[in-house]
Structure 1
Amino acid sequence: MSHTPHELADEFPHAIDALHQLKIENAHFGKLSGRYHELNREIHRIEAEVDAASDFRVEDMKKQRLGLLDEISGMLTAHSG
């Protein structure tokens, strides 16, 4: 499979170790991370025209992904602070 844009390691290249540590130590972070990856891959499949979706659905999914990214970012900041 080709490189999927917006992977967490791409979004937070300075925090790769923290991403790994939080996934192991924090169940909530692990769930957020898993949901982010599922949603991100689904968006990528739609954008690559492998799957079809309405514009409304794609925009809603992107908003969900952004919300997850914000929450993940906040947890990374708290973890490093």
Structure 2
Amino acid sequence: MSNTPHDIYEDFPGDAEKIHMLKASDAHFARILEEYHEINRDVHRAETKVEPVEQLAEVEMRKKRAALKDELARMLAKA
């Protein structure tokens, strides 16, 4: 398990311009991106024990983060 935050710009390095454009022009994309950033921060804080949570809760947060990332990837692919 990695304690490194999963920054969306690092995960999609070639799509930074597309991410910025969609964030500014697509309210749904912007909302999903914000939700991703929030859950990513929560996962990172749980992994580093800054805000510890039960293991099952941490696993569920990681699953939600992955689902949001998949949705962002689909949206980026269509743009």
Q: Output the aligned Cα RMSD.
A: 0.8
Partner of 1:51: 51
Number of paired residues? 76
How far, CA to CA, are the matches of 1:5 and 1:11 in structure 2? 10
How far, CA to CA, are the matches of 2:9 and 2:66 in structure 1? 15
Note the residue ranges of structure 2 that are not aligned, 5 or more in a row: none
Per-residue displacement from partner, 1:24-78 (whole Å, max 9, x unpaired)?
0000000000000000001101111100101100000000000000000000000
Q: Which amino acid aligns with 2:69?
A: L
How far, CA to CA, are the matches of 1:30 and 1:19 in structure 2? 9
Partner of 2:26: 26
Give 4+ residue runs of structure 1 displaced > 2 Å after superposition: none
Structure 2 length normalisation: TM-score? 0.93
1:76 matches 2:76: yes
1:38 matches 2:38: yes
Structure 1 length normalisation: TM-score? 0.91
Identity %: 37
